Structure 1
Amino acid sequence: MERPLDCLNNLVHDDWLIGYDSRQFNQIAQELYLELTQLSAYGTPPKIILAEREPLRFLASFIAACAANCPVFLCNPDWGTQEWQQVFDLVHPDIVLGMGNGEWGTCTERLVPSVRVASRREVEVSRSMGNGHNNNSQCPIPNSIMIPTGGSSGQIKFSIHTWETLISSVQGFTEYFQLIQVNSLCVLPLYHVSGLMQFMRSFITGGKLAILPFKVLESGQILNIKQSEFFISLVPTQLQRLLQNPELTKWLSQFNTVLLGGAPAWNELLEKARFYRIRLAPTYGMTETASQIATLKPDDFLSGKISSGQILPHAKVTIRNQQGEILNSNQIGNITIHAQSLSLGYYPITRDNQADFQVDDLGFLDNQGHLNIVGRNSDKIITGGENIYPAEIESAIQATQMVADICVIGIPDKHWGQALTAIYIPKKSDISALKIQTLLKDKLSKFKIPKYWIPQQYLPRNSQGKINRQQLQQIATEFIQNPIT
């Protein structure tokens, strides 16, 4: 397996970054690698927070840190003070890269006044005196790569990966799609696993990587690439926005493959993509698995298949009941994953990489070996003794074509245990909950039609489209306590 420095040297003469200077990338990475290697001579490699806004510097810094065997924490430079406080309390970094003028340790006093990170010179002096790290929190795994994940709680966690786990994901991807090189157009954040893995696929395989902020793309500005030779990854809300623009819809339809993940896609959106012959590849994966472990190939999608596709070669999925017994095809149960790309835990606590990873999702494997997701254990709503999964209700409401966005939750109810509550964005101001309920009567059982309907101007989703359910609970509680009359 090629190491980061080997891959960097393999690309030294290639113009592989589209829209950026490939030689500058190589120069920054090589220079930073040498500096970090020198610092490591004074003790264990320094822990690095990487919060660089500029894509080229972010990627070059990431490769330099990996090559120098430095533990690196990928961070969102747009996090607020409270989030940064969480990060610094957890990590206690030696070095911060990014967000300043290029010098280490320049951004932290502005972001979190109570925290100060050692500068480059201070790290050198401390280590030359034999003091080692300037903090008392060591990384449990050398040369680890910490990728942020927060789920729906909003509490930042770091999933512990290594170069090896990320490479396993790349190998599974290339084998599944039978590729030697992977060309990607990345419109997702590079600190997020879905953005990082697009870079990794191109970097490892010697393919091309084009980077374009989604806001720029949405405005109609596109890069001069041959879409039929490229992959692009989107989350459902991004796909929805692009399909509202006829020119961008036509542009998107010319891609080799449009990977879709990050959050569940609703049926209306999938049907619209199929109508416009978008070569969509719905995926299933997460930060803990270094992106996708199941993907539906575009030809299967266009032929009408609805699933998350087959399991990629580097992974294995079993469906188990609550007793841990493996279920047969088409039986719904808990999804358990075993993959070479599995993370080693959540910083700073490690887990056995060989252990099975049971996720919160419920699903089944059909007779063709395709993975089908039906909901989440944690989202399950029990009302009047009936188990209800919000995904079914949300899909039915989306099909009415009266809402722009929808999320169904359960709120405490003294009579029913939980009451179904729909929090939605109406497509038009004159659309009422009664109109939607009327259309649902022939599609859903009576007990599956939400009791409460709460219109909103927007729903609290993150950049990957995942909903913040804690905020929705607050919205619902306030609405019911103070109903609009």
Structure 2
Amino acid sequence: MVPNWIIQRASLTPNRIALRFQDKSWTYQELNEQSLLIAKQLVSLGIMRGDRIALYASSTAELIFMIGGCMHLQCEMVMLNLRLSKTELAYQIEDARVSAILAEDSLVDKLPSSDTRIYAFTDIFASEGKGFSPSSEWNESDTMTIMYTSGTTGFPKGVRQTVGNHLSSATSSLYNTGLLKEEAWLCTVPLFHISGFSMFCKCILHGVELVLYTKFDAKKVADQLVEGSVTRMSVVSVTLARIIEELENRGERASERFQTMLAGGGPVPIDYLERAAELGIEIAQTYGMTETASQTTTLSSEDAMRKIGSAGKPLFFNQISIEGVSKPFEEGEILIRGPHVTPGYIGRFKEKSALQEGWLHSGDIGYLDDEGYLFVVDRRADLIISGGENIYPAEIENALISHPAVREAGVCGVEDEKWGQVPYGFVVTKGNIDEEDLLIYCKEHLAGYKVPKRIFIVKDLPRNGANKLLRRELPKLI
């Protein structure tokens, strides 16, 4: 058993700022009061302690309070991705068998037709509330959140993330980064994604401030980095690139008070790491997934420049292994073990074990170097096999992104009669460049069999709610 996080934090540091959103702020005492009020309102609408409910909302203060109310009720929260189609939402709602959906008013019409009760936020806020006393303790094995995988290899799986999973993740992260006075996490990633939700958990457990954005805004982020009003944030390659460009265009650097950017969602191009360092931004590459309640490994600050390209070592409670290898630098599937790993799935995959002989099979390819640092090569599902040669899309993407006229790049395999598969590239440009010039550039930086057969210049690349590249969608752009 562990203390109710919200009650405990409000007791320990009631007057410390918990949340900033737009031009308003709330203390931990106020967060607790707002969350308790919503719990009572949900009870009056028929939501019971321990119910499984779905949340469908953008990242706002209202969603934070709604999450807090559900936490007081110890509900299992299914976090619905705002980028899903009605068909995809219908699958998850049915698969999870939620008893109700709590939805932001402006998004209600985007939900599919369903027999499931839907409560708009304004209806919840308008209800009178009913007597309710939250438990002072939570069971670590209780499911707190459920998030669906992207379904790259079939139907999306509903991943259980327990109180203990989130607690282990936040604690390991703290052991890695330490804690500053007046710490403030800048959250521009959606709360329905594990990266965003885990940031919220860290802030409650560490007693620090969450600065919440509904959408990523490079100009506003750059303002906060320069003025030093935040100390840490999480990014993926595409958002990191936009921050770097904004600061470079201004000729400004991040404040010394800013500590770290945690970069996840796939390998970060070395060019980005080096340019960020020149701007006073320390990038700590991380590796994690939905099944691990966010981070599994993180590159510590003292190794940031010595091990460029590495995702670091496992956090304190975690373990990493590479399947089927006998020595350093050999590539294989990344296996994960630790208290942050999901106990299993729900719905269609309820009977599927998350572990094999105690290890989670990640589906990612990587290797450990001779000092035990993890390097993530690519997704196994995205691997391109061309004429018997293994080609990792990330390697080609890194080469393309290093061209000064390329803003974003994505690579996927396309069937080929002669070679089985060949790589195709897709780029978003920021200058005058054509396919022929890019192909010449690739030939100068890549082995012949890795050079894309075609490179398409496109307006946007397909991404999920956390701005992670969806390579499986790239062929639709041809």
TM-score bracket for this pair, using the shorter chain length:
0.7 to 0.9
Identity value in percent: 25
Alignment of 1:3-22 (within 5 A): 3-10=4-11, 11-18=13-20, 19-22=24-27
Measure the CA separation in 2 of the matches of 1:252 and 1:60. Answer: 31
Please name the residue that 2:455 is paired with.
Answer: 453
Measure the CA separation in 1 of the matches of 2:295 and 2:215. Answer: 21
Measure the CA separation in 2 of the matches of 1:221 and 1:374. Answer: 30
- In the TM superposition, residue 167 of structure 1 has moved relative to its aligned partner by 0.2
- In the TM superposition, residue 229 of structure 1 has moved relative to its aligned partner by 6.8
- Secondary structure at the residue paired with 2:245? coil
Conserved? CA contact 1:314–1:339, under 8 Å: yes
Conserved? CA contact 1:7–1:204, under 8 Å: no
Larger radius of gyration: 1
Alignment of 1:10-409 (within 5 A): 10=11, 11-18=13-20, 19-22=24-27, 23-34=29-40, 45-53=50-58, 55-77=60-82, 79-100=84-105, 108=108, 111-117=111-117, 143-150=143-150, 152=152, 156-179=156-179, 183-219=184-220, 222=223, 227=228, 230-246=231-247, 247=250, 250-251=253-254, 254-303=257-306, 305-321=308-324, 326-348=325-347, 349=350, 351=353, 355-409=358-412
Amino acid at match of 1:298: S
Conserved? CA contact 1:310–1:370, under 8 Å: yes
- In the TM superposition, residue 63 of structure 1 has moved relative to its aligned partner by 2.6
Measure the CA separation in 1 of the matches of 2:252 and 2:149. Answer: 31
- Secondary structure at the residue paired with 2:418? coil
Conserved? CA contact 2:54–2:101, under 8 Å: yes
Measure the CA separation in 1 of the matches of 2:188 and 2:455. Answer: 34
- In the TM superposition, residue 463 of structure 1 has moved relative to its aligned partner by 3.6
Measure the CA separation in 2 of the matches of 1:170 and 1:59. Answer: 18
Measure the CA separation in 2 of the matches of 1:192 and 1:396. Answer: 29
- In the TM superposition, residue 274 of structure 1 has moved relative to its aligned partner by 2.1
Measure the CA separation in 2 of the matches of 1:189 and 1:87. Answer: 18
Measure the CA separation in 1 of the matches of 2:86 and 2:445. Answer: 46
Measure the CA separation in 1 of the matches of 2:276 and 2:308. Answer: 13
Aligned length: 446
Conserved? CA contact 1:311–1:369, under 8 Å: no
- In the TM superposition, residue 190 of structure 1 has moved relative to its aligned partner by 1.3
Amino acid at match of 1:261: G
- Secondary structure at the residue paired with 1:251? coil
Please name the residue that 2:443 is paired with.
Answer: 441
Conserved? CA contact 1:153–1:470, under 8 Å: no
Q: 1:71 to 1:270 in 2, by over 3 A?
A: same
Question: TM-score if structure 2 supplies the norm length?
Answer: 0.83
- In the TM superposition, residue 242 of structure 1 has moved relative to its aligned partner by 1.2
- In the TM superposition, residue 110 of structure 1 has moved relative to its aligned partner by 6.1
Cα offsets for 1:264-298 (capped at 9, x unmatched): 22222122112223111111111111111111123
Measure the CA separation in 2 of the matches of 1:78 and 1:472. Answer: 17
Instruction: Note the aligned Cα RMSD (angstroms).
Output: 3.1
- Once the two structures are overlaid, the 10-residue window that deviates more, 171-180 or 340-349, is 171-180
- Secondary structure at the residue paired with 2:367? strand
- In the TM superposition, residue 81 of structure 1 has moved relative to its aligned partner by 2.5
- Once the two structures are overlaid, the 10-residue window that deviates more, 200-209 or 446-455, is 446-455
Amino acid at match of 1:255: F
- Secondary structure at the residue paired with 1:190? coil
Amino acid at match of 2:474: L
- Secondary structure at the residue paired with 1:392? helix
- In the TM superposition, residue 112 of structure 1 has moved relative to its aligned partner by 2.2
- Secondary structure at the residue paired with 1:441? helix
- Secondary structure at the residue paired with 2:16? coil
Conserved? CA contact 2:185–2:203, under 8 Å: yes
Measure the CA separation in 2 of the matches of 1:81 and 1:252. Answer: 43
Conserved? CA contact 1:333–1:363, under 8 Å: yes
Q: 1:226 to 1:147 in 2, by over 3 A?
A: farther
- In the TM superposition, residue 216 of structure 1 has moved relative to its aligned partner by 4.3
- In the TM superposition, residue 224 of structure 1 has moved relative to its aligned partner by 9.8
Conserved? CA contact 1:4–1:63, under 8 Å: no
